[in-house]
Structure 1
Amino acid sequence: MISCFFLLVVFSVSVSPGHGGCSEVDSMTEAVAGDGFLLGCISCKRREEVSAWCTVDWHFKPQGGEEFRQIFHYDHPSADVLHAHFSDRLTWRGTQSTDIQVGAIYIHNVTFNDTGTYRCTFHRTLELEPPQYVMVEKEVELTVVSEPNRELTAVISEIMMYVLIVLLQLWLIVVLVYCYKKISTEHEAREARRALKAQNELLESKDNCDGVQLE
């Protein structure tokens, strides 16, 4: 189920802006060391009929740290990694246009030192007269673990999935038995009708023979 949720987030990231499909899904907060991780950050534009120009900045404060430091800047089509700790490990996975609503980045080869607070900042300028500037900030508390934790809801969902599979199989068996009995009953009725018809034809043939006068 966790992988399904990840795919859902990726799908949300891939939704094109301006089509009314923007949904502000919260980022996942637990990464596994050595794997990749998608830092989600979505800020839907409130006035979709107005074009906008937007840039996105990411800042990081390590666990136990006191201040944020900038690690990433995106100004379409340019994506810049600004901190040596994340060198060659950050990839832009957000909106591929100047009108950005999805500001997600992907961390390659996550390490335990990536644990901390990430801040995503949208700097959006609406093309109005006069232009309007809007800033949106969102934070993600990321924890890095050695192995993925199975949440209770995920376990329950998995159990329910297997229960549903068993119930569907039982339902299929019931349907097959019902269909078999119905076909068998129809076959027996058809054979009974054929036997009755053959009997009637035999009786009619006998009656015709009794009515024949020999010369």
Structure 2
Amino acid sequence: MICLQELMSSFLVFILCVSHCHGGCAEVDSMTEAVAGESFLLGCISCKRREEVPAHATVDWHFKPTGEDEYVHIFHYDHPHLEILNEHFFDRLEWQGTMGTQDVQTGAVFIHNVTFNDTGTYRCTFQRTLSLPKDNEYITVEKEVELIVVAEANREMLSVVSEIMMYVLIVVLQLWMFVVLIYCYRKIWAEHEARDARKALKAQKKALLNEPLHLKDKCDGVLME
């Protein structure tokens, strides 16, 4: 069974793709719990407030391990080029942000093969240049993600309750179908017996109507005597 974290990561990727494809933008917070040995999506979205204005944006990711005071520059994206800048993340970071345009609004990255050393604070920085008629406007947006790495995914209460309700619903539906089958069987059997009874009654009436006349005369003679 797919764990809740994988479902939520897939759902977040779906939201990012839908937002990009349809020209809309929704700022969704990143998840904060990763499972060691698996992949994790670091989400970061900065929506451009004026869609009609052309823009160019770069995305930088910095990482501060738990217990450290300084951030380390680990990733830079400037369409169409990307750079992994820290050896701890070599071959483990994959761009999952806006594709095919320099007007970047989604700066998400995948961390593959997560380790416990990846626990810490991640800072996502957007440097956006808006191309206005009179003069360019420069905007900087920063967002942070506090990441915790665990050995196994913690199932949230909502997930547990949903699964229990699913099994209860399955059992209830099966019982309901069983009751419906019994009801239909009894109804069909009653109709069958009623049809047989009607056939027997018709046969009896037909036999009486077709009774030979000489039998009736003998009966009449006995009654006359």
After TM superposition, is the score higher than 0.5? yes
Residue 123 of structure 2, aligned match among 119, 122, 125: 119
Instruction: Determine the C-alpha separation between the residues in 2 that align with 1:6 and 1:188.
Output: 60
- Report the alpha carbon displacement of residue 197 of structure 1 after superposing the two structures with TM: 4.2
Comparing 142-151 and 112-121, the one that deviates more: 142-151
Instruction: Determine the C-alpha separation between the residues in 1 that align with 2:107 and 2:98.
Output: 7
1:72, 1:80 within 8 Å by CA — same for their partners in 2? yes
Which residue is 1:140 aligned to? 145
Q: Which runs of 5+ in 1 are unaligned?
A: none
Q: How does 1:88-99 map to 2 (within 5 A)?
A: 88-98=91-101, 99=103
Letter in 1 for 2:84: V
Q: Which structure: larger Rg?
A: 2
Instruction: Determine the C-alpha separation between the residues in 1 that align with 2:131 and 2:199.
Output: 84
| 1:97 match: secondary structure | coil
Determine whether 1:109 maps to 2:113.
yes
Aligned residues: 212
TM (norm. structure 1) is: 0.82
- Report the alpha carbon displacement of residue 174 of structure 1 after superposing the two structures with TM: 2.6
- Report the alpha carbon displacement of residue 124 of structure 1 after superposing the two structures with TM: 2.8
1:54, 1:100 within 8 Å by CA — same for their partners in 2? yes
Which residue is 2:219 aligned to? none
Letter in 2 for 1:112: F
What is the CA deviation profile of residues 24-43 of structure 1, one whole-angstrom value per residue up to 9, with x for unaligned ones? Answer: 22211111222221111223
Cα distance 1:139–1:190, how it changes in 2: closer, same or farther (>3 A)?
farther
Query: RMSD over aligned Cα, in angstroms?
Result: 2.9
Q: Give aligned-pair identity as a percent.
A: 65
Q: Which runs of 5+ in 2 are unaligned?
A: 215-225
- Report the alpha carbon displacement of residue 205 of structure 1 after superposing the two structures with TM: 4.1
Letter in 1 for 2:40: F
- Report the alpha carbon displacement of residue 96 of structure 1 after superposing the two structures with TM: 0.8
Cα distance 1:201–1:97, how it changes in 2: closer, same or farther (>3 A)?
farther
Letter in 2 for 1:162: Y
Which residue is 2:51 aligned to? 48
